[in-house]
């Protein structure tokens, strides 16, 4: 029987409890999950790709059916390279759906054999956005509800280094 491999792509700058919710629930659906960290994005990132990969590995390291990798280039090419047929995308709010729906339709035109699976994040994480978390942390606010303790420490380290 063929293995069902799914790709969960994103910038994960930083990884949030909302991302971890999608990852944990994806374990139940697929034989293998590859968390694919985008190297170069239109978004400016606080953490390097290496830092983001290491943060995610620290969070999901105990799972045997998960890999954390970085990639650059067209997502569909990466998905094919990994012999996967599913892209997992997390949804928080309606505006996420509009963007992700357009992206899924575009990907379907390029690669009709690859499916996109949308997963709604748990209700208590709908307001969690990496962009907002970075802003709260930059201004010295508490982000422990949105990220794990190790990610919170990485944010504090990053922003204290920028201040000094």
Q: Is 19 a catalytic residue?
A: yes
Strands (E), 4-160: 5-10, 32-38, 66-71, 86-91, 115-120
Indicate which residue of 17, 52, 89, 92 is catalytic.
92
Q: 43, 131, 145, 156: which one is catalytic?
A: 43
Active-site residue, 131 included: no
19, 52, 89, 134: which one is catalytic? Answer: 19
Confirm whether 42 is a catalytic residue.
no
Please state, in angstroms and rounded to a whole number, the distance separating the CA atoms of residues 54 and 154. 11
Query: Is 160 one of the annotated active-site residues of the chain?
Result: no
Our measurement of the distance from residue 94's CA atom to the centroid of its chain's CA atoms, rounded to an integer in Å, reads: 18
Classify 29 as helix, strand or coil: coil
Contact 56, 15 (CB under 8 A): yes
**Which residues are known to be catalytic?**
19, 43, 92, 130
């Amino acid at each position: 029987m063929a293995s069902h491999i799914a790709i969960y792509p994103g910038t994960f700058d930083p990884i949030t409890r909302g991302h971890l919710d999608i990852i944990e629930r994806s374990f139940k659906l697929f034989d293998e999950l590859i968390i694919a960290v985008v190297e170069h994005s239109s978004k400016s990132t606080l953490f390097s790709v290496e830092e983001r990969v290491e943060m995610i590995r620290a969070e999901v390291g105990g799972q045997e059916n998960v890999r954390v990798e970085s990639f650059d280039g067209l997502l569909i090419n990466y998905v094919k390279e990994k012999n996967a047929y599913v892209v997992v995308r997390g949804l928080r709010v309606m505006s996420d759906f509009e963007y992700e729906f357009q992206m899924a339709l575009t990907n379907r035109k390029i690669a009709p054999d690859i499916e996109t699976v949308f997963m709604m994040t748990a209700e208590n994480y709908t307001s969690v956005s990496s962009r907002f978390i970075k802003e709260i942390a930059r201004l010295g606010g508490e982000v422990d509800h949105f990220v794990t303790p190790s990610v919170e420490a990485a944010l504090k380290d990053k922003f204290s280094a920028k201040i000094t």
